[in-house]
Amino acid sequence: MILSSVVFLPLLFALIVAVWPKTSSIRHLAFGFSIIEFLLSLRLVQLFDSNTAGLQMVEKHLWIERFGISYFLGIDGISLWLVLLTTFLTPIIILASWTSISERIKGFHVSLFVLQTAMLGTFLAFDAIFFYVFWELSLVPMYFMIGIWGGARRIYATVKFFIYTFAGSVLMLIAIIYMMYLTQEATGAMSANLLDFYKLKIPFVGGAFFSLQTLLFFAFALAFAIKVPVFPLHTWLPDAHVEAPTPGSVILAGVMLKMGTYGFMRWVIPLFPEASEYWAWLFMLIGAVGIIYGALVAMVQPDVKKLVAYSSVSHMGYILLGLFAFNSYGMSGGLYQMLNHGISTGALFIMIGMIYERTHSREIAKYGGLAGVLPLFTIFFFIVTLSSIALPLTNGFIGEFLILLGTYQAQPVFAYFAVTGVIFGAVYMLWMFKRMFFGAKGELVADEHHPLFDLNFREVAVMIPLVLMIFWMGIFPNHFLDYSKASIDNLVNNRTNYNLTIVEPGAAEIMHAQGEK
């Protein structure tokens, strides 16, 4: 029952927060709950056997018998660290928003916990309809987060975000229903079980866009591509980031975008192997264009938050390249970069929120000379900047290196384009850092009537776990990569005949013991 506890405990927390009578203690209560959830999720790492590629800790119960819909939760090396990323960021977000969210505090934390349940369910559900429920549920709390606690153009950004993501999801739902009927034709019983979907042999005709596998491939791929988001479906993201409150931006960049790239790994590539291979060039091209486009547009942004938003478009392009390289280096790098981006970009948005609380401005030109008045803030920001540009010994380097290595093995020409993105990334991030921290003092820094103050104890406590993860993941990557290796190898080596077995309780320990002998 541990997976059910991990998924639905935040929903219980949301209910308790909603009825809690003392508003003054809501933040402390929510923070305590989020720590409990994180500690519970660490138990997954303890129970997880990294030597098997099968589904572990499975919980499966028939839900709607007529349509073959099940309550089906499971975990493997692909989803393990995404679950931990979600539970790790949540207490940090609550602590970071301690003073920035000052109105409707109860509603904000309820929304955050509901969103956490939706994201965790998306990573752990192995029934298509069950997955779709969590996928769509995530839109609702994020809609309220941006729409209630966002900036001046929050309604525009919220509606745009909702329309984009919901439109793609409708096509995916149609494809899911169609595949349920395909399982009925193949086995005589309708099923929404993802493991049954993997066994389907869906017709594919190379070069024919209207072949069945190609149509289903694009129905799923479009929904995930919008969520990533890939170029040119990215236009909702900068608006959503700029208008969202700081915690909304962190959870959006840190976890929600990864729901899209996870979808490609879990659903698109193994379900439609021939279509994925045939159209890989298109998605690698989109990824390469997104890398360069996102970097170039970020370079000219006057708003530091919009700069980081466009940097996300660029970074997510790398992940797409790695996934469609179809080799262990590329896919391992793509999965690792999902985690890296969540840590580094989440930290950037948190620090931008900290300086915005002090100055109420995100305009780069109004800053300058911050290093002289905020030395502690400068040190933390510089470390996160180096992580974002993938400096060796930081987490960003490992992910980008593996992706470039895998891309070069698969399609060298796309690796050449991706390398230029590394250069552009260093240019816009370091140029932004120079102007804000070492340029001539801007009007916000030189304002004697409103002097800036450096990070307080709470803000340092927010940043320390993120910085520790940046160096831990950069110096000891195998502590993380080893857990996903078996699952990645299974996906790469058996892609055209992919199958996931369910590891029964105790079987993993027996298999591990036999392997040692």
Phi/psi of residue 390, each to 5°?
65, 45
Q: Which two tokens stand for residue 222?
A: 């479009």
pLDDT at 348 over 90: yes
One-letter identity of residue 218: F
- Domain presence at residue 494: yes
pLDDT tens-digit series, residues 51-60:
998 899 999 9
- Domain presence at residue 517: no
Phi/psi of residue 59, each to 5°?
-125, 115
Contact 213, 285 (CB under 8 A): no
Q: Any residues with CB less than 8 A from the CB of 476 and at least 6 apart, and which?
A: none
- Domain presence at residue 242: no
Helix (H, G, I), strand (E, B) or coil at 232: coil
Q: Which two tokens stand for residue 77?
A: 């090396």
pLDDT band of 508, cuts 50, 70, 90: very low
The pLDDT assigned to 449 comes to 65
pLDDT band of 506, cuts 50, 70, 90: low
**pTM score:** 0.93
Mean pLDDT of the chain: 90
Q: Which two tokens stand for residue 404?
A: 């470039």
CA distance 179 to 248: 34
List the end-to-end C-alpha distance of the chain, in Å, as a whole number: 31
pLDDT at 19 over 70: yes
- Domain presence at residue 327: yes
Range of the domain at 477: 301-499
pLDDT tens-digit series, residues 192-203:
999 999 998 888
Per DSSP, helices labelled H in 138-245 are: 139-149, 154-187, 194-198, 212-227, 236-243
Contact 3, 75 (CB under 8 A): yes
Pairing outcome for strands 56-64 and 69-75: antiparallel
pLDDT tens-digit series, residues 155-167:
998 899 888 888 8
For the chain, how many structural domains are there in total? 1
- Domain presence at residue 166: no
- Domain presence at residue 176: no
CA quadruple 304, 307, 312, 315: dihedral sign: negative
- Domain presence at residue 239: no
Helix (H, G, I), strand (E, B) or coil at 76: coil
pLDDT tens-digit series, residues 298-329:
999 999 999 999 999 999 999 999 999 999 99
Q: Please, what is the Cα angle at 269 between 114 and 333, to 5 degrees?
A: 80
pLDDT band of 187, cuts 50, 70, 90: confident
- Domain presence at residue 468: yes
Q: Any residues with CB less than 8 A from the CB of 416 and at least 6 apart, and which?
A: none
